Structure 1
Amino acid sequence: MKVGLVAQRDNERAVEIADAIRAALDDDGVDCRLDTATATSLDLPTAGTTVERLEACDLVVSVGGDGTFLFATRAAGDTPMIGVNLGEVGFLNAVAPENAVDAVRDTVAAIRRGDHAVREAPRLTATCTGFESVPAVNEIVVSGPRRGHGGGASFEIEIDGSTYSTGHADGVMVATQTGSTAYNLSEGGPLVHPAVDALVVTEMCGVEERPPLVVDDDAAVTIAVRDAPHAVVVSDGRQPQELELPVAVTVSQADTPVRLAGPTADFFDALGKLS
């Protein structure tokens, strides 16, 4: 059995916990594969330990905040993941640091027995002619080249072919129910319980702003962009992609969801940490 380990960069505690997990799994006869940064922090050989190898594992363990978890999901593919929470909220990371070793060992044992439970959370992709974004767990943003006065772009938002909104804004965000507690919330979007299959469409600082719209999770949200030097598409806050105008970007549910193993986070307990 192979387990991938990714620790938050420049976080000594995350590295220590990852090392404790690695040592425990080594005692259990499990092959651990660390990403290059984690292996380097532990003075372990780095050859062949790139994060891209995580997809070949049976389980991926993220140790850190939600950002570390999102980083690991990009390479995990459909491999089940478990997150150890060193951040402030921890919607994606359900395991407390003091329980990390036991939780991972229990999950590994369940996978070996074939009776482990896996939950799925949707991912989004943005597509247009000649382009497909990296899948996003939280949100995809389509914007002009910069925000603020004199920036932004003109947008037309269609939901399954029907026009919802037209006007000038800094950008348009499409968030999953998982991402509703993240960037979406700071832009005035609503909280969505993780059991609700939905997408949230939020204009960002619109001149004649329409309210955020909650739609079915299998909806196709098409965002046409005009009146700007170019458009920018960002997936989970990473790897911005510039697109020439005119362009119509369609955001929809990706084929491969995030697969979550191990303990489940208490949504309402995590919400209490937002205030």
Structure 2
Amino acid sequence: MEVGIVARKGSERAVALAEEVRDAVADTGATVWVDAETATALGEPAAGRAVEALADCDLAVAVGGDGTFLFVARNAGDTPIVGVNLGEVGFLNAVSPDTAVEAVIAEVEAFARDEMAVREAPRLAAEADEWTSVPAANEIVIQSARRGPGAGIDYEIEVNGSRYAGGHADGVLVATPTGSTAYNLSERGPLVHPAVNGLIVNEMAADDGMPPLVVDADATVTVTVEGVEEVVAASDGRNTATLSAPVEVTVERTSPPMRIAGPPSNFFEALGKLS
């Protein structure tokens, strides 16, 4: 078995915990490594590997917050991920620092018995012409190059070929249930329990928009944009592309889904940390 570990960048606590987990996994006889930045923080730069190698592992461990988990997920492909939460809200990271070693070793042992339980969460991808976005665990956002007074886009939204809404707004957001607590929430979108098999369509600061809509997870959402020369499409707020308008952007569920190992998080307990 091979286990890859990534600690939150710039966090001494995360790095120290990653080292503790690494040593415990090594004691089981499994192959274990840390990413290059974590290895450098440990004073062992030669021992680190590129995060892309997570896709070839049997288990990935993210030590930090939900942002660290998403960073790991972007590089892990379909490798199951255990998230260790260091005090953040923790919708994705269900393991506490005090139980991190125990939880990861439990997954290593479950793998050896061929009994690792893995949950799946959907990811989205956007397409336009010959461009395809980086898969998103939280949301795809389509907006103009600038926001605020006098900015925005003229758009029309279709769901499975039927018109849902249109007009002028800062942008359009399509989110997974995982992403319902992220950017979608700040744009007054609904909270969606992770057990719900759906996607959220949310117009961002629309002049005369419709209420946010939850559609089937296999729905095709098409956003046609006019009124600007360029459109910015963003995946989880980090991976952006600038597209020439007018343009038709299609957002759909993509493979592989995000795969989560370890104990499940308590959605309602995590919600309490938002207030």
TM-score calculated relative to the size of structure 1: 0.98
Give the SS at the match of 1:137: coil
- State how far apart, in whole Å, the 1-side matches of 2:154 and 2:87 are: 36
- State how far apart, in whole Å, the 2-side matches of 1:146 and 1:46 are: 42
Q: Deviations over 1:17-41 (max 9, x none)?
A: 1000011111111211211111110
Q: Unmatched 5+ residue regions in structure 2? A: none
Cα distance, 1:87 vs. partner?
4.2
- State how far apart, in whole Å, the 1-side matches of 2:145 and 2:239 are: 14
Paired residue for 1:10? 10
Aligned partners of 1:66 and 1:87 also within 8 Å: no
- State how far apart, in whole Å, the 1-side matches of 2:177 and 2:240 are: 22
Paired residue for 2:63? 63
- State how far apart, in whole Å, the 2-side matches of 1:203 and 1:33 are: 43
Structure 1 counterpart of 2:63, which letter? V
Structure 2 counterpart of 1:56, which letter? D
Are 2:138 and 1:138 equivalent residues in the alignment? yes
Aligned partners of 1:51 and 1:72 also within 8 Å: yes
Aligned CA distance change for structure 1 residues 52 and 46 (closer, same or farther; 3 Å): farther
- State how far apart, in whole Å, the 2-side matches of 1:20 and 1:187 are: 39
Are 2:7 and 1:20 equivalent residues in the alignment? no
Cα distance, 1:263 vs. partner?
0.5
Aligned CA distance change for structure 1 residues 244 and 87 (closer, same or farther; 3 Å): farther
After superposition, residues 206-221 of structure 1 pair within 5 angstroms as 206-221=206-221
Paired residue for 1:88? 88
Are 2:226 and 1:193 equivalent residues in the alignment? no
Paired residue for 1:99? 99
Give the SS at the match of 1:268: helix
Q: Deviations over 1:177-214 (max 9, x none)?
A: 11111111110000111111010000001111211011
Give the SS at the match of 2:100: helix
Cα distance, 1:153 vs. partner?
0.8
After superposition, residues 116-155 of structure 1 pair within 5 angstroms as 116-155=116-155
Paired residue for 1:257? 257
Are 2:42 and 1:35 equivalent residues in the alignment? no
Paired residue for 2:181? 181
Aligned CA distance change for structure 1 residues 257 and 41 (closer, same or farther; 3 Å): same
- State how far apart, in whole Å, the 2-side matches of 1:188 and 1:121 are: 22
Aligned partners of 1:139 and 1:176 also within 8 Å: yes
- State how far apart, in whole Å, the 1-side matches of 2:130 and 2:246 are: 14
Paired residue for 1:268? 268
- State how far apart, in whole Å, the 2-side matches of 1:228 and 1:68 are: 34
Give the SS at the match of 2:209: coil
Aligned partners of 2:40 and 2:48 also within 8 Å: no
Aligned CA distance change for structure 1 residues 86 and 236 (closer, same or farther; 3 Å): same
Structure 1 counterpart of 2:16, which letter? E
Q: Deviations over 1:29-66 (max 9, x none)?
A: 12112111111101113466011111010000000011
Cα distance, 1:229 vs. partner?
2.4
Aligned CA distance change for structure 1 residues 172 and 102 (closer, same or farther; 3 Å): same
Comparing 29-38 and 157-166, the one that deviates more: 29-38
Q: Unmatched 5+ residue regions in structure 1? A: none
- State how far apart, in whole Å, the 2-side matches of 1:228 and 1:33 are: 47
- State how far apart, in whole Å, the 1-side matches of 2:6 and 2:201 are: 31
- State how far apart, in whole Å, the 1-side matches of 2:187 and 2:259 are: 27
Paired residue for 1:160? 160
Aligned CA distance change for structure 1 residues 53 and 18 (closer, same or farther; 3 Å): same
Aligned partners of 1:124 and 1:254 also within 8 Å: yes
**Number of residue-to-residue matches in the alignment:** 275
Q: Which runs of 4+ in 1 moved over 2 A?
A: 45-48
Give the SS at the match of 1:256: strand
- State how far apart, in whole Å, the 2-side matches of 1:87 and 1:146 are: 34
RMSD: 1.0
Paired residue for 2:109? 109
Give the SS at the match of 2:134: coil
Give the SS at the match of 1:168: strand
